[in-house]
Amino acid sequence: MAAQAAATKLPVHPLAMSGFIMALVSIVLAFYGSLYAEKHLAGSPLREARGSAGLPGEPTRWYDRALARGETTVFGGRIDSKMIALTSRSKIANYSLQIIAFVIPFVLGIVAALLGGWGMTAIERSGDRYSGNLQAVFSQLIGSFAAIIAGCMILSFYVWPLMPALYTT
């Protein structure tokens, strides 16, 4: 029986798979929030701390020029300047982008890590009916990493401006 169960492919537990997919979505959003959202948000303390507009200069490498040419062709201009213009004139767009870049990856990361843990428990209790240990473990790892990244960005975006000057200089 054990040899036959090992030969057949067991279905992945739904909790493990949903946690894994949720973790992947949360890490993509967390990376966007930590790497690009500061350039797209008008009034961002991270962008203001740079002492410039926060926009990249003219591209120098060939692949940067190709990307800039593609952005100009598709959007009619650089996406960074378009997003700053949108978030500076619309509070709804500004707050929506903050929620997408910071809050959603934080919540999705925590939920993905919890789903991975619950999926692992369900897989162990099911005997030989389900597989998905890999997905469950990686949903815990990736989900927690995304929640940490988003949590740090939430702290740096919302709490850092409230810190006394002694800590910020």
SS (HEC) of 49-71: CCCCCCCCCCCCCHHHHHHHHHH
Does the predicted model carry a pTM greater than 0.85?
no
Structure confidence at residue 163 (pLDDT): 76
Q: What's the mean per-residue pLDDT of the chain?
A: 86
CB atoms under 10 Å from CB of 64, counted, come to: 13
131 beta partners: 12
DSSP 8-state secondary structure symbol assigned to residue 131: B
**Comparison of pLDDT for 52 and 115, the residue scoring more:** 115
Q: Tell me what the mean pLDDT of segment 8-37 comes to.
A: 93
Structure confidence at residue 6 (pLDDT): 55
Structure tokens at 103: 């809050």
Q: Tell me what the mean pLDDT of segment 84-105 comes to.
A: 92
Closest CA to 15 of 148, 137, 144: 137
Who contacts 163 (Cβ-Cβ below 8 Å, separation ≥6)?
none
